[in-house]
Amino acid sequence: MSGIESRLAEILVTRGIVDPEQINPDLSLLLPPAGMPGIELAADILANAVREHARILIVGDFDADGATATALCVRALRAMGAKRVEYTLPDRQRHGYGLSPALLKDWIAEADAPPDVILTVDNGIAAFAGVAAALTLNATVIITDHHLPGDTLPPAHAIVNPNLNGSDFASKAIAGVGVAFYVMAALRERLSALDWFTGGIARPNLARWLDLVAVGTVADVVSLDDNNRRLVAQGLARIQAQQCVPGISALFAVAGKDPRYASSTDLGFVVGPRLNAAGRLEDMRIGVDCLLADDPITARQYAMTLNEI
């Protein structure tokens, strides 16, 4: 590869990198959202939900990928003008994995009304019982997931998954938070086409949350293909520039690390394990609340709790 020292070029080639453009982190080189199966339908449903002020319930997973995907969607939907966005996560012991009848039953017991739209992140591709329970509530169900599907799919209104049969999306290894990022990007474009951002709501720059994408991608140990590498590189750059969400800065601080020198190793062995600890030993809502906190003091308190766990 021209322009790269021979020894480094040899290492890169053994890792499947044969063109310098493969390690170019420019966001303009990201795969376009339109290539992901189901994404246009999901964007249409969410755009209607945002415009009609529908109650949107995000159902996440109890690991770092699910926590970052949940926080990303909550932040992005609210920034795009959604007025009624809530989230829930399963308890490992009570609910099992992902969207389930038990999870919905417990959430509805605490809520004052059922959700209008249910959006799963990092789960749902095998949630047959959970989707069936959601449909009895007359909820519209959107599944966003990256796990391999079975021979049959749940009867959701939209399913976004790069690993669906017939998918041409090149990054089959994208994490759940990466799929969520793409869905939010498609939603923003749909709302833009509907002139939604001309009524006093600013069109958000989704790159501001690539720090969340980077953490979830590395913590989920997915393959760093060209697309994932760009997502992680851009997220790391934001963390190093101290432009990340306060929760990530706080997690670095309680671990005695300086985010200005953050590396992918820090995401995998410093930030990720502290988020995962909540889902495995306590309640992953602590992790999501840490990532959603806008006040540095509040974020630090959540981070300290995660560090103790």
Per-residue pLDDT of 98-143, as tens digits, reads 899 999 999 998 888 889 999 999 999 999 999 999 999 999 999 9
DSSP 149: P
Specify the length of the chain in residues: 309
**Alpha carbon distance 293, 301 (integer Å):** 10
Q: Is 84 in contact with 144 (CB distance < 8 Å)?
A: no
pTM: 0.93
Q: Which residue has the tokens 């053994």?
A: 14
230: Cβ contacts below 8 Å, ≥ 6 apart: 24, 25, 26, 27, 29, 30
Structure tokens at 10: 């040899």
Q: For residues 199 and 240, which has the higher predicted lDDT (pLDDT)?
A: 240
What is the fold of 33-308?
Answer: inorganic pyrophosphatase (n-terminal core) (3.90.1640)
Q: What is the dihedral of CA 174, 180, 184, 186, to 10 degrees?
A: 50
97 falls in which pLDDT band (50, 70, 90)? confident
* HSE value, Cβ hemisphere, 13 Å, CA-based, for 27: 14
Specify the DSSP element, H or E, that contains 210.
helix 210-219
SS3 118: strand
Considering only 72-86, 178-192, 222-236, 266-280, which range has the smallest mean pLDDT?
266-280
pLDDT value at 3 more than 70 = no
